[in-house]
Structure 1
Amino acid sequence: MGSLRTCLLIALVALPLARPSAADDALFRVFAECAGRFSAEREHAWLVGDPDADLYDDQRLVFLSLLDATLPRARARDALAHRVDVKMAHASLLRRATFSQHPEHVTRARHLAAAYRKTCLELLLDS
């Protein structure tokens, strides 16, 4: 009975060390989200001839580097799925901001896209 108790105690102590913390999980998800947002910004800028396309590409690369540095390899699929989901949602927002026939939708979408960009950029030291 003593060895079973010892094994359980070791497992209880080692379990938190083996699992990524919620903070680690949140960090790579935030970087995946920002990489997705700037991917959408870059593509949209290319489509509409916005000269900021290269800037958005540089920012996307920064967030991809941060994502790569914080990503647990076991969560790579989750990060990619999250990045693509956010990219698609942000692209939809940018389309609405550019092509909607309703001025209030255009205004709201532009403000939201700018706020999301700002939130991501505030994570960087040189912003």
Structure 2
Amino acid sequence: MLRHLSSAALVACLLPSPAQAARDDLHRFATCAGRLSALMTHQWMFDGAGSEQTAIHRRAMIGLIDAIILPDEGPQVLHWRLSAKHAHATLLRRASFNRDPADAAWAAQMAAQFTSGCLGLLPHTWSS
């Protein structure tokens, strides 16, 4: 019995607390909102294609943030969003304006993977 109890206690210590899980989700949603903002701006810069759908996805991601954010977390969430937006915009520029085709292809692939991961967080009705 003691062996099972200590194993259960060890597992409980290794699992994130509900508060930590919520903060991880908040970070994930904020990062995705930033990435989607960068993608939307990038789409507007070229021809606008896809930017309306991206705006819908971005609003949905912000809705997820609004659902779990605590009153004192606003500044941190803004920092996460802006950092992710800057990083993703840099990746998109690298993909679009790069003289090295292999590096441009890598950047485009990474940007697509990050975007796809974010869209996978949204309920199906928002991501279709």
Q: Letter of the aligned partner of 2:30 in structure 1? A: A
What's the counterpart of residue 104 of structure 2? Answer: 106
Deviation at 1:48, TM superposition (A): 1.0
Secondary structure (helix, strand or coil) at the match of 1:104 reads: helix
1:52 aligns with one of 50, 53, 57: 50
What's the counterpart of residue 77 of structure 1? Answer: 75
Alignment of 1:14-53 (within 5 A): 21-53=19-51
1:88 aligns with one of 86, 89, 97: 86
Q: How many residues align?
A: 109
Give structure 1 regions of 4+ aligned residues with deviation exceeding 4 angstroms: none
Identity among equivalent pairs (%)? 34
Give the whole-Å Cα distance in 1 for the aligned partners of 2:62 and 2:115: 15
TM-score, length-normalised on structure 1?
0.82
Query: Please, which runs of 5 or more residues in structure 2 have no aligned partner?
Result: 1-16
Q: Considering only aligned residues, what root-mean-square deviation do their CA atoms show, in Å?
A: 1.4
